[in-house]
Amino acid sequence: MVYTKIPPSRTSDQLVPHVGRTLPVRTSGKAEQDPLVRRRSAVVFLALSLLTACGVLPGDDEQRTVTVWLMKDSASDVFLKRFTKDFERKHTDLRLDIRIQEWTGIGDKVSKALQAHDGTGPDVIEVGNTQVAQYVDEGGLLDLTLESMRDWGMDHWLPGLAEPARFLGHQYGIPWYAANRVVIYRKDLFARAGINKPPKTRDQWLADTEKLDSGQQQGIYLPGQDWYTLAGLIWDEGGELAEESAAGSGRWTGTLDTPAALRAMDFYRRLQALGDGPKDADEDHPPLAGVFAKGNVAQAVAVPGLAQAIVSENPDLKDDLGYFPVPGRTAGKPGAVFTGGSDLVVPERTDDRAGAVAVISALVGAKWDTELAQAMDYVPNKTTLASVVADDAGVAAMAAGAAQGRATPASPQWGAVEANNPIKDYMTAVLTGADPATEAKRASRRLTEALTDDIG
């Protein structure tokens, strides 16, 4: 049964079925007795009935509004205006209502929207890739697996965007754009140390950093609580931050005490020692850009956009900054990195699934995803689109790493972990001389407790 909205001037927001509505076919005189005319009339009658049932009666030019929530600064005003104009030109039956949201407090706002019954909520929502699990757990997201497989090329999506948006084989979040850390380095200091090209392996990275760490010059500035970088090293070693006992069980166990995770922490400890980064703080304390801008730091792990902040504080460094992906264990591929970014989801209670799907199809398609990446210095949602950002050294390095990207465990409780992060405490303890195995077990227990807090 197909429904359409009666225009507000007739009945406010009332839904009525078109099935069963008929339009009379006028006949007169002898023609009414002619079987051929009667058959023709029946065909016309049936055709008009089908047109009204589908809501496409000639002359019916009512537009449907698709409401889209996007986050502040995810896309520029210029991009959104161009996208809207192009989309509405190609979908004359749809009108876009794009509403910009603030990240602060967005979790509660989205949760309420997903549970709303009044039909006034959004049809498409941008969410952080690590937030999807929470919304799946709360219920209210549309399963978009069919479209993902048939139309959106899910086999080529960045794993760090796609995996946390998938639950028990069903795809709820659709990758839109990504960002991740790279190594920002001083080309002039590398050349002065006799290093002619960036390292490709972790062993070479460590060796080069030792050469760079000399006198007042720091080989690398790596804060002791940069757990995002540690997470990448753990994944690169084949380990995990936490593991679920069975898919969908909700029972997670912290795994910082596994041999793989301990090897990663040992590498982090050796690398962090080749600079003066604080052992008890993260990259925001003090702000990383200000430290690098002072001129005595050879490397830092950060998103490429940090370079703009560095140059704004020290314009003399403008031509000296370069980028390379976080090195892997072997030269064949970069190291694993934590991938941040956004997915697009559709509330289960949308009253226009077709319109919502059309919007997502356009946003995540090659044309507009490429334009967004180039305009905003993002990584496109697919590994096959990496070449579109090849001309930007920082984004190109980011895209190379993103192909090996991962995200935090897909637990709805992960937010509780970050609110009182045991990984940070663990790192500080090890860097200040505590026994790694003992501290890893303690941190793993705390992870387990945080991740299974809702299990009775």
pLDDT at 454: 55
Sites in the chain below the pLDDT cut of 70: 1-61, 453-456
- Name all domains of the chain by residue range, CATH numbers in brackets: 3-53 (no CATH), 64-179+340-385 (3.40.190.10), 180-334+406-451 (3.40.190.10)
C-alpha distances out from residue 110 to 48, 122, 140, 285, 350, Å: 42, 9, 10, 30, 13
3-state SS class at 259: helix
Which of the 8 DSSP states describes residue 27? Answer: -
CA distance 205 to 208: 5
pLDDT at 173: 98
Q: What are phi and psi for residue 171, nearest 5 degrees? A: -95, 120
pLDDT at 118: 79
On whether the CB atoms of residues 394 and 377 are closer than 8 A, the answer is: yes
Which residues are 3's β-sheet partners?
A: 17
Residues 6+ apart with CB under 8 A from 184: 292, 299, 300, 301, 302, 304, 306, 307, 310, 321, 322, 323, 394
pLDDT at 14: 29
pTM given for the model:
0.84
CA distance 403 to 410: 19
pLDDT at 149: 97
On whether the CB atoms of residues 440 and 261 are closer than 8 A, the answer is: yes
